[in-house]
Amino acid sequence: MASTRVANSSFRAVRAASIRPAAAWRQQCLYHSYDYAQPPPFPPAEAAILSAAYSHVPNHGFTIDTLKLGARDTGYLDVSTNLLPRGVFDLINYHLVTQRLALQNSVQFPDDGAATKKMGVGAKVRTLTLARLRANKPVIHRWQEALAIMAQPTYVAPSVAELAKLADEIWFLSGDQSVDSSWYTKRATLSAIYSSTEVFMTQDKSANFVETEQFLDNRLEDLTKIGGFLGGLGEWLNYTGHSAINVLRSKGARI
Amino acid sequence: MQSSRTQLGRQLLGASKRRVAREPYRCFSCSVRQAQQQPPPPKSPQDGPSTTHFGFETIAEALKEQRVGAVFSSVASSYDSMNDFMSLGIHRLWKDHFVRNLNPGRNPLTSSPSSPSAEQGWNILDIAGGTGDIAFRMLDHASTINNDAHTRVTVADINPDMLAEGKKRSLQTPYARSPRLKFVEANAEKLDMIPDSSIDLYTVAFGIRNFTHKEAALKEAYRVLKPGGVFACLEFSKVNNPLFDAVYQRWSFAAIPLIGQLVAGDRDSYQYLVESIAKFPSQTEFSNMIKDAGFLVPGKGYEDLTNGIAAIHKGVKPA
């Protein structure tokens, strides 16, 4: 009885929410939705300045001068960089957000049915992670500056949040549908692997970043090993624990 | 018995004396009561719609400019020491942060030499900046941080006494007789001497709450700014934390007028000061006013300082 009442009230809440205008609804969307186009991540004026500034990053790095150059390119003044309250971090954030959102268009997987061999979720994650790392290529010689800014106490929280969104995006695009506690561990481990590989990549001088690719493969392999070991350990503990209890019960213990 | 009766009598006498002594004292609760009890002064029908507030009083619009002028004329000489006493010196930190955040000045070394025809330095208009607090900081920042010897500041104030104070103070800076610093007596609602689209940065620090028509001043700011120019306003605002707000209200309504009386010998001016702070719109309301004037606002539109005692509002004129 109680459960139906709860269900009823929650149903009413959902219905009330769906009556609200679509615009307000869209702003509240915190999940991937196929029904609504996502609003652009930056307002138009900010986006214009940031995208113009982004093209100056290879030469001028992640600095306030880059932002000023971008503002001048779009017909704004030096002072207009005040439109970006977090300054250079907004430029870094622009890189992070646009490259994350570009991932769904830049990486295409063949249809599962038509493909000769179905691609596993793990392989998809590897492909997507590599694609995201390769998107850093134009700015990689300046990326350590960006990492230093992201490590400033004020910007740690938004940077980590963006990393979590990236890990979530990669798992979502690779078609992962887990709904158990592994949802969390998958995202946490991928975040750790991605960030360490990115740091490795800033020092990688090999042609076409083959060493970075190898580093990523090694870490993913470590993950499967550790995952397998933890899974095995859990199974062993579970079995041993149950057997021990059963042995005690057979000896007459009241458990 | 006898002694206890005289004691009681003395106590009563003391209490009545104290009450008499306290009569002219106006604390927050008194002024609220006054504002509620006193019906607004009898208005003639034609000036009915054109009233404005002067602190908690409602007065005719035409009078506000004059009354604000009187307040600032009387506090001009002790302005700085009073600010220090009232904000415990924190107003200096706010002003420093305000200027550092705006980062005025164009570094000749890092800015591209591609356009030599382009103006050098920024053209800054500091409204209600009579004592030059913000102007000197701007010029210092431009010269020492950005190595820019061209950025100019025009200090505009409606009050000649405050301007005189600023001019006097400018003699102790390197900018006193340079073309980089100019003083203009002007009303922020009618900046006729400033041409359209000529200003890079329009600043107003602790001034806009005294304007009779804030919308008109914002419109005028929009007119004088170049496309892409920035309107930046440092002003007292609303404290977010209710507990801290209670402490802050006690401080501002009990301590500040008292300090004003002791240090500047002028209670009423400082009573007006705290009342005008209480009357100023909240962060989001004022940010919406800036948006309504046509500006783009960065992020959420404002930045709280010291829990919202003051706030920095910015707006960018679209290019």
CB nearest A80 (choices: B112, B299, B316)? B316
- Helix B160-170 with B133-140: angle, nearest 10 deg: 30
End-to-end CA distance of chain A: 34
**Number of neighbouring beta carbons within 10 Å of residue A245:** 12
- Contact at 8 Å (CB) between B153 and B126? yes
Give tens-digit pLDDT for B247-303: 999 988 998 889 888 887 888 888 888 899 999 999 999 999 999 999 999 988 899
Question: Do A77 and B200 make contact, defined as CB atoms within 8 angstroms?
Answer: yes
Lowest mean pLDDT: which of A191-200, B44-53, B217-226? B44-53
CB nearest to A80's CB, from B110, B230, B299: B230
Name B156's bridge partners: B127, B184
The answer on whether B58 is annotated among ligand-binding residues is: no
Q: In a mutagenesis test of the B interface, which of A77, A88, A91 is the best target, namely the one with the most B β-carbons within 10 Å?
A: A77
CB contact under 8 A, A45 and B303: no
Looking at residue B260, what is its pLDDT? Answer: 85
B-chain residues near A66 (CB < 8 A): none
Distance, CA of B273 to CA of B209 (rounded, Å): 10
CB spacing of A76 vs B299 below 8 angstroms: no
Single-letter code of the amino acid located at B89: G
Please name the helix (run of DSSP H) or strand (run of DSSP E) that holds residue B124, with its range, or none: strand B123-127
Distance from CA of B107 to the nearest CA of A (A): 9
Residues of A within 8 A of B111 (CB-CB) are 65, 68, 78
Q: Which residues of B touch A75 (CB under 8 A)?
A: 227-228, 319
Q: Give the residue ranges of chain A where pLDDT is below 70.
A: 1-30, 32, 111-117
Cβ contact, residue pair B228, A80, below 8 Å: yes
Binding residue per annotation — B212? no
* List of chain A residues whose C-beta atoms are within 8 Å of the C-beta of residue B198: none
- pLDDT band for position B18 (50/70/90)? very low
Among A131, A130, A144, residue whose Cα is nearest residue A217: A130
Contact B319 A75 (CB under 8 A): yes
In chain A, where the domains are located: 31-208
How far off is chain B from A89, nearest CA to CA, in Å? 13
Per-residue pLDDT at A16 = 43
Q: Which of A43, A77, A84 sits opposite B229 (nearest CB)?
A: A77
Strand duo B310-316 + B302-305: pairing:
antiparallel
CA B312 to each of CA B102, B126, B235: distance values in angstroms, whole numbers, following the listed order = 11, 15, 7
Give the side-chain half-sphere CA count within 13 A for B150.
9
**How confident is the model over B77-132, as pLDDT tens digits?**
777 787 888 788 999 999 999 999 999 988 887 765 555 546 678 999 999 988 89
Residue B53 per-residue DSSP state:
E
pLDDT of residue B85: 81
pLDDT value, residue B24: 47
Instruction: Answer whether A77 sits within 8 Å of B318, measured CB to CB.
Output: no
CB burial readout B68-85, b (16+ within 10 A) else e? bbebbebbbebbeebbeb
Best of A46, A82, A86, A90 to disrupt the B interface (most B CBs within 10 Å) is A82
Percent of chain B with pLDDT over 90: 48
Evaluate if residue B20 carries a pLDDT over 70.
no
Which of B112, B122, B298 is closest, CB to CB, to A85?
Answer: B298
- What's the confidence (pLDDT) of residue A13? 45
Please give the distance of CA A251 from its chain centroid, rounded to a whole number: 53
Euclidean distance between CA atoms B251 and B270, whole angstroms:
12
Q: In a mutagenesis test of the A interface, which of B230, B295, B300 is the best target, namely the one with the most A β-carbons within 10 Å?
A: B230
Of the candidates B315, B296, B151, B301, the one whose C-alpha atom is nearest the C-alpha of residue B217 is B315
How many CB contacts within 8 angstroms connect chain A with chain B?
62
Q: Residue A10's pLDDT is what?
A: 47
Can you tell me which residue has the tokens 């404005």?
A: B52
Residue in B with minimal Cα distance to A71 = B228
Q: Which of B102, B112, B318 is nearest residue A69 as measured by Cβ atoms?
A: B112
Closest CA–CA distance from residue B23 to any residue of chain A (Å): 49
Q: A95: which 2 tokens?
A: 């890189």
Instruction: Specify the higher pLDDT residue, B312 or A19.
Output: B312
Residue B21 labeled ligand binder: no
Locate B69 and state its tokens: 């002028």
Interface-testing mutation among B199, B303, B316, with chain A (most A C-beta atoms within 10 A): B316
- Of A24-33, A54-63, B60-69, B180-189, least confident by mean pLDDT is A24-33
Rounded average pLDDT over B137-150: 92
Which comes out higher in pLDDT, residue A21 or B163? B163
Model ipTM value: 0.74
Which residues of chain B neighbour A82 with C-beta distances below 8 Å?
101-102, 230, 232, 298, 314, 316
The answer to whether residue B35 scores a pLDDT higher than 60 is: no
Does residue B254 have a known ligand-binding role?
no
What's the DSSP call for residue B303? E
Q: What's the rounded Cα separation, in Å, for the pair B277 and B280?
A: 5
Tell me, letter by letter, the H, E, C secondary structure of B150-215: CCEEEEEECCHHHHHHHHHHHCCCCCCCCCCEEEEECECCECCCCCCCCEEEEEEECCHHHCCCHH
Contacts of B102 in chain A (CB under 8 A): 79, 82
Q: Which of A152, A145, A124, A136 is nearest to A197 (CA)?
A: A136
* Torsions phi, psi for B59 (to 5 deg): -130, 165
How many residues are listed for chain B in this entry? Answer: 319
How do residues B299-311 score in pLDDT, each as one tens digit? 888 999 999 999 9
Question: What gap in Å lies between CA A79 and CA B316, rounded to an integer?
Answer: 9
Per the CB < 8 A criterion, the answer to whether A71 and A49 are in contact is: yes
Residues of chain B in contact with residue A80, where contact means CB-CB under 8 angstroms, are: 228-230, 316, 319
Average pLDDT, chain B: 82
CATH of B69-103+120-316, one of 3.40.50.150, 3.30.450.20, 3.40.50.300, 3.30.160.70: 3.40.50.150
Is the confidence at residue B175, as pLDDT, over 70?
A: yes
Nearest-by-Cβ selection for A75 from B228, B296, B299: B228
CATH of domain A31-208: 1.10.357
* Of residues B76 and A239, more confidently modeled: A239
Question: What average pLDDT score do residues B52-81 get?
Answer: 79
Q: Tell me the pLDDT tens digit for each residue of A51-80.
A: 999 999 999 999 999 999 999 999 999 999
Residue B269's pLDDT is 83
Domain boundaries, chain B: 69-103+120-316
Chain B residues at the A interface, defined by Cβ less than 8 Å, are 101-104, 106-107, 110-112, 122, 200-201, 226-230, 232, 296, 298-299, 303, 314, 316, 318-319
